[in-house]
Amino acid sequence: MSEPTSYSVIISGRLQDGFEPAQIQAAFASLLKVSQEKAGALMKRQWVIKKKIDRKIADAYKKKLESIGLVITLKEHAAPAPAGEELALVPTDDEIRTESTPEAPTSALKSNNITCPKCGQEQPPGREQCEGCGVYLQKVLNRATDTGSTVQEQPADVTGEPAFSKEESLTGKSLAAGAAAALVGALVWNFIANAFGYELGLVAWAVGGAVGFAVAATGSRGQNAGIACAALALVAIFGGKYMIYSGLEDEIADAIASSMGEIRSIYDREMTAADAYANVRDDNALRQFMVDHEYSGSYNAGDVTEEEIADFRENSAPRLDDFVYRKPSFDDWYHNTFEVDLGNISTTDIVMAALGPVDILFLFLGVGTAFRLGRG
């Protein structure tokens, strides 16, 4: 069998040990006369930089590219090399096939490794996500098989970390799973707070994580999925706190009902004080009245200060005047004193008033975690 007469030079997508990725990227960009971002993407994928050239020129390519830190392979061809080929490290547009399936070397075809149709990265079988671009391999491979087309490249960033896949996917199933996780999380948080009498901020973080995981686990990802997860986590966290404090009004009402006898005695003292105040005609009588009915801390009328008198006239005298002239029944007085005040307190107000720095921190962590997990 005669020796093959031409070779293709293949960028393997791997880097040699002992070289800094940033230095390789800069040198590769200079050789290709492209931007560093483009060079960073090209050096991390498997592709053919030169096709069917003479062995001497192919070896020169290999030596030059390996000198800057790339791992290069040569593929043999039976067809003869084109005449007059010169060594030019800048590949032609046809050779930089950034939007087509890269040509794999013979060694790759003989192995069980799989090649990502999106970025061309060769990797062991059984991986869920591509090592190069982070896409879900089975889904992309199925799509490429069904349509007979390839997927546009999503390059990795220059640090070697997979670039974020911008493919959007948000299904009704995922939204339902996220909403269910949000509801369960709010109920669990409410149970823990009521059972132990303490709000644990880590629960809010866990609620956000559960929502994001539920959406991601059911196949959705992307910016819209992340936003949906963040919104569900926010509703779940505030919903849990709302449930925790929603029973507070009832507890206050029950406490007042259990103290009805003491409340009645307060009403009786107010009525007695109002009747006595109606007979006050001068400052001396007022001082004695304040001592007798405990509107002053003094035991002698002469010791009542002007500040105490001023405070009495501003805060207590109007209420006593109302008792004198209106003479409300106990039910009217109870309604105006307690029920109206309770009606002005909303659960939302209580929740907002109870938010502290730690609550805000874990709220941020919970919502942020839900967004990142949901986005994929």
Find the mean pLDDT for residues 292-309: 85
Beta-carbon count within 10 A of 109 CB: 11
The predicted pLDDT at position 79 comes to 59
The letter for the amino acid at 110 is K
Q: CB–CB of 349/341 below 8 Å?
A: no
What H or E segment, with its residue span, contains residue 11? Answer: strand 6-15
Which of 169-173, 240-244, 315-319, 349-353 shows the lowest mean pLDDT across its residues?
Answer: 349-353
Find the mean pLDDT for residues 152-166: 41
Res. 1 pLDDT band, cuts 50 70 90: very low
The predicted pLDDT at position 161 comes to 39
Find the mean pLDDT for residues 260-268: 81
Average pLDDT, the chain: 75
The predicted pLDDT at position 196 comes to 72
The predicted pLDDT at position 191 comes to 80
* Residue 212, both tokens: 């994001």
What's the burial of 293, exposed, middle or buried (CB within 10 Å: 0-12/13-18/19+)?
middle
Res. 199 pLDDT band, cuts 50 70 90: low
| DSSP letter assigned to residue 169 | B
Angle at 295 between CA 290 and CA 300, to 5 degrees: 50
Q: Say whether pLDDT at 290 is over 70.
A: yes
The predicted pLDDT at position 108 comes to 38
* Residue 129, both tokens: 């996500």
Which of 57-71, 136-150, 168-182, 205-219 shows the lowest mean pLDDT across its residues?
Answer: 136-150
Percentage of residues of the chain with pLDDT beyond 70: 68
pTM of the model: 0.36
Helical segments of the chain, H only = 21-32, 36-42, 55-67, 106-109, 137-147, 172-196, 201-217, 223-246, 248-258, 260-277, 283-292, 306-311, 317-326, 330-334, 340-343, 347-354, 357-375
Find the mean pLDDT for residues 204-216: 87
- Cα separation, 301 vs 99, in Å, equals 98
Helix, coil or strand: residue 6: strand
The predicted pLDDT at position 153 comes to 41
Domains of the chain: residue spans and CATH: 1-95 (3.30.1390.10), 112-166 (no CATH), 168-376 (no CATH)
What H or E segment, with its residue span, contains residue 9? Answer: strand 6-15
Find the mean pLDDT for residues 104-132: 61
